[in-house]
Amino acid sequence: MQTGIRQGQWLAAIGLALVLAVPTRAQTVSKAGTVAGDFLQIGVGARAMAMGGSFVAAADDASALYWNPAGLAHLEGGEAMAVHSRWLADVSFDYLGAALRLGTLGTLGVSVTMLSVPDMLVRTEDRPEGTGEWFDAADLAIGLSYGRFITDRFAIGATAKFIQQRIWHSSAVGFAVDLGVQFRTDFFGGLTLGAAVYNFGTDMRMSGRDLRTFVDPDPTREGNNNRIPANYETDSWSLPLNFQFGVALRPVQTRMHQLLLTADALHPSANYESVNVGIEYGFQQRIFLRGGYHALFLPGAEGGLSAGLAVHQVLPYAGGLAKLEYAYRDSGRLGGVHIVGIGITF
């Protein structure tokens, strides 16, 4: 038995070393706004967002589908969640996720992320007041996740994602994977380490009939066909690759009071490094107060403070929990974001 535990600890160390092997060289120039699928960087869940997006080591509910698929291993049964927020500039952001434990086989989950903007009037240089046509834009990601314990301390997980971005009649499609690990130590009564790599996948390129045009291959010649169909060629853009490493500490865990402290370090491909921190206080495991700060040390960051609360109610006949959660995130001059989530365990 002792040998098995020792092997598990070695396996945990190797797994963490592989994830930490992702290059962490500091960027000298910000690449913000130079990636496709930027909506993939919007955090999921009122709980995690209230805690400043510092959740990679603490993920232990259905939001682990986004933050760290290894956290799915903590689910004892099933859980489903739905999140809605009115993002910046009237953009709607919605997330649906569900996970189910399959006994000793691990936990399987699915998720759908949607971002959409209101319909807008088509305007051109010749008709600045509008052409009478309307267009919209929407982003979509569908994920299939799996997580399980390798030992009683070490969990691994992965998510495969289909990604689509669309604006009017043009779209781009991509595929990506997320990989994550969690490891509970003996330090400070169970300090947990977590790490995840997000959006490792294909480049995305826009195509569609909106990019179609007609050209005259030889305008100096008369009588030739001056409406030869052609397409504008667009560039390919990489996905927002990100590496996130975090710690979670639970210094107080009694029947009456619970306290969770978290801190994450982020190394994104499209921006400078930064740090997120969060805190959660629970009273009788039913009422939760949360706070946090995101994008610490990020040059030019807007806002940063976040806060939230939640109420969990035991379902007397179903044997699970109903969750109602709220979070507010300050985005500085861009305004604040309100996030509402509901969930159920079964």
Distance CA 112, CA 118 (A): 20
pLDDT tens figures, 90-99: 899 999 999 9
Question: Looking at residues 194-219, what average pLDDT do you find?
Answer: 90
Residue 78 contacts residue 101 (beta carbons within 8 Å): yes
pLDDT tens figures, 16-45: 444 444 444 445 666 777 899 999 999 999
Average pLDDT, the chain: 89
Q: Give the percent of the chain with pLDDT over 70.
A: 91
Residue type, 185: T
59 closest CA partner among 46, 49, 74:
74
Question: Looking at residues 192-218, what average pLDDT do you find?
Answer: 91
Q: What pLDDT was estimated at residue 231?
A: 85
Distance CA 252, CA 247 (A): 16
Residue 196 contacts residue 15 (beta carbons within 8 Å): no
For the entire predicted model, the pTM comes to 0.87
Q: Which has the higher per-residue pLDDT, 2 or 58?
A: 58
Q: What pLDDT was estimated at residue 10?
A: 47
Question: Looking at residues 186-211, what average pLDDT do you find?
Answer: 92
Distance, C-alpha 264 to centroid of its chain: 14
Residue 325: pLDDT band (50, 70, 90) is very high
Q: Give the percent of the chain with pLDDT over 90.
A: 68
Question: Looking at residues 66-93, what average pLDDT do you find?
Answer: 94
pLDDT tens figures, 168-179: 889 999 999 999
Q: What pLDDT was estimated at residue 158?
A: 98
Q: What are the sequence ranges of the domains in the chain?
A: 35-203+228-345
Residue 294: pLDDT band (50, 70, 90) is very high
E strand spans, the chain: 78-86, 92-101, 107-116, 120-121, 134-135, 137-149, 154-167, 170-184, 192-201, 207-208, 212-215, 228-231, 242-253, 257-268, 274-283, 287-296, 305-314, 321-330, 336-345
Question: Looking at residues 234-250, what average pLDDT do you find?
Answer: 95
Q: What pLDDT was estimated at residue 78?
A: 96
* Cα dihedral across residues 118, 140, 276, 35: positive or negative: negative
Residue 59 contacts residue 75 (beta carbons within 8 Å): no
CATH superfamily of 35-203+228-345: Outer membrane protein transport protein (OMPP1/FadL/TodX) (2.40.160.60)
Q: What Å distances lie between residue 102 and 40, 96, 219, CA to CA? A: 28, 20, 67
Distance, C-alpha 291 to centroid of its chain: 19
